[in-house]
Amino acid sequence: MEERNLVVMDIGTSKIALMIAKVEDDSIQIIYYRETPSGGIRHSRVMNPNRASVAIRDAIRKAEEETGIRITQVIVGLPKYKIRQVKATNEIPRDPEVFITEEEIDNIKSMALNDYPLENPESEILFGAVAQSFSDGIDFQIVENDVIGMAPDRLDSLFALFIGQRKYVKDLRLAFHKAGDICVSREYFTPDAIAKAVLYDSETENGVALIDLGAGVTSVSIYYGNIMRYYASLPFGAKTITSDIMRECLISEDLAENIKLAYGACMPEKLQTLSEKVLIIQSDKAVASKQVPVKYLSEIITARVKEIIEGILYEIQESGFADSLRSGIVITGGGANLLNMANLIKDMSGYSVRAGHPKRLFTVSDESMYDVLYDTAAATCIGMILMARNENINCSVPKDENADGDRTDGVQEEPETIITGPALDENGKGNLFGFEEPEPAPRKKGRWKDIIGNVKKFYNDLNDENV
């Protein structure tokens, strides 16, 4: 496959991260990565498409100016909040004289994505489907690698289906349309993308909880037997910590964020000499300076982080895999950088905990980029690059190939052909991994039935991040 550029964007509550990678075959070279302020985003979803489009346009323009390329399409992550999980089975009669092939398993996965009837197709959309196990009617809980080569007269499959809000996806696309002539070529359900970037095979095999600590959403993904078994999200994250500092210290949000990044820490009892320091804050010339002990700052942060961890541990218990996490917990996302975060989670949970830094699966065009790319905050972008590298996508053209100069304000027509990501048509159908569907082959249609309804959410009614 010829050399091409992949452009991914992680649209977050506090920042927009844009990454450009030059890909040829399996080789990945990251040539650009920047984080810019976000706008119009709440709980990882576009709440104000017009404001979000301004932030998206600014991020793209900066990338184009620095790299000298014209970005024509992007790869983005789907919203992480308000996703419900459903378990469903599919029963398919088959010819017992024919061995099960990998292609047959792929067709079953496509059936899960294309044929499952949503309860509310007007308001919901299928983000993805993950095969949990298979059965031939005699043996149960057969994994995918073992079922290939068998020759049963029937094949039952158990899937975990992840269903999100259609409006959230609509608003995401609207923001990019408003931002200019940018096509969204793929939309990925990000838990698997992040897992590709930070988890090792031994961890997903033996059981691990992957915690993505974002600004507006904290997500929990459970892996066991190399399969994602459970996903849940909490409607608060690191931004609630910033809000607490802002209110307690009577300072602006921007100043509170900077103080958190520079001096923020959990567990004041472990700060040693740092706890003796006092911050003198002069936020306005007309207002007297404030003195904030670092120990008091840590107490504010720790109180909120404990609430977040309690929500995480609740979801781990709800997953049914709390006793199967032999590899413990891996934390990633911007919130994972908070000092003593891993230690506090370990103390409260009893699990081993490590920070999930992106694995060294790429090169860079500038050695100075390594530090920022191996930060936990870059995991989502790198994961989406890894998922898209085998796709036939080129997200850019040389600037001189486009004559219209500045971007328009969303008035251009949509391209005639768009290779879509998961669940992009009007019926909520699509593909979890974002690849283009093959020509449908004749197949026997299975019978779907729900076995588990909506997963109860401990925090589902919390719509305000300042809890």
Q: Are residues 140 and 264 in the same domain?
A: no
The domain total for the chain is 2
pLDDT tens digits for range 127-158: 988 999 999 988 888 988 899 999 999 999 99
Residue ending a domain, choose from 319, 336, 355:
355
| Burial bucket for residue 372 (CB in 10 Å: 0-12, 13-18, 19+) | middle
- pLDDT for the residue numbered 286: 57
Asked whether residue 299 falls in the same domain as residue 211, the answer is yes
Same structural domain, 98 and 148:
yes
**For residues 327 and 324, what is the distance between their CA atoms, to the nearest angstrom?**
9
Is the same domain home to 348 and 368? no
* CA pair distance 427, 299, nearest whole angstrom: 49
Q: Which tens digit of pLDDT belongs to each residue from 351-377?
A: 999 999 999 999 999 998 999 999 999
User: Does residue 232 sit in the same domain as residue 117?
Assistant: no
- 58 within a domain of the structure (yes/no): yes
Residue 462 inside a domain? The answer is no
pLDDT the model gives residue 439: 42
Percent of all residues in the chain with a pLDDT value above 70, rounded to a whole number = 84
Domain assignment present for 461:
no
Do 382 and 341 lie in a common domain?
A: no
- Residue 464 domain-assigned (yes or no): no
Q: Tell whether the model's pLDDT for residue 205 goes beyond 80.
A: yes
Final residue of a domain: which of 335, 355, 375?
A: 355
Same domain, 119 and 236: no
**248 and 212 within one domain:** yes
Q: Which of 355, 372, 390 is the last residue of a domain?
A: 355
Query: Percent of the chain, pLDDT > 90?
Result: 69
Domain CATH code at residue 246: 3.30.420.40
| Helices assigned H by DSSP within 149-252 | 166-179, 190-198, 201-206, 238-249
459 within domain boundaries: no
Domain housing 28:
1-199+359-453
Which tokens sit at 159? 């899937």
- Please tell me whether residues 276 and 149 are part of one structural domain: no
Q: What is the dihedral of CA 206, 432, 45, 459, to 10 degrees?
A: -40
Q: What is the pTM of this model?
A: 0.84
Residues 299 and 365 both lie in one domain: no
Same domain, 250 and 292: yes
Residue with the bigger pLDDT between 413 and 318: it is 318
Domain membership flag for residue 76: yes
In a domain, 296, yes or no: yes
When mean pLDDT is compared across 67-76, 104-113, 292-301, 426-435, the lowest value belongs to 426-435
DSSP annotation of 85 reads E
Q: Which two tokens stand for residue 449?
A: 């039935």
Establish if 460 belongs to a structural domain.
no
Residue 129 and residue 10 share a domain: yes
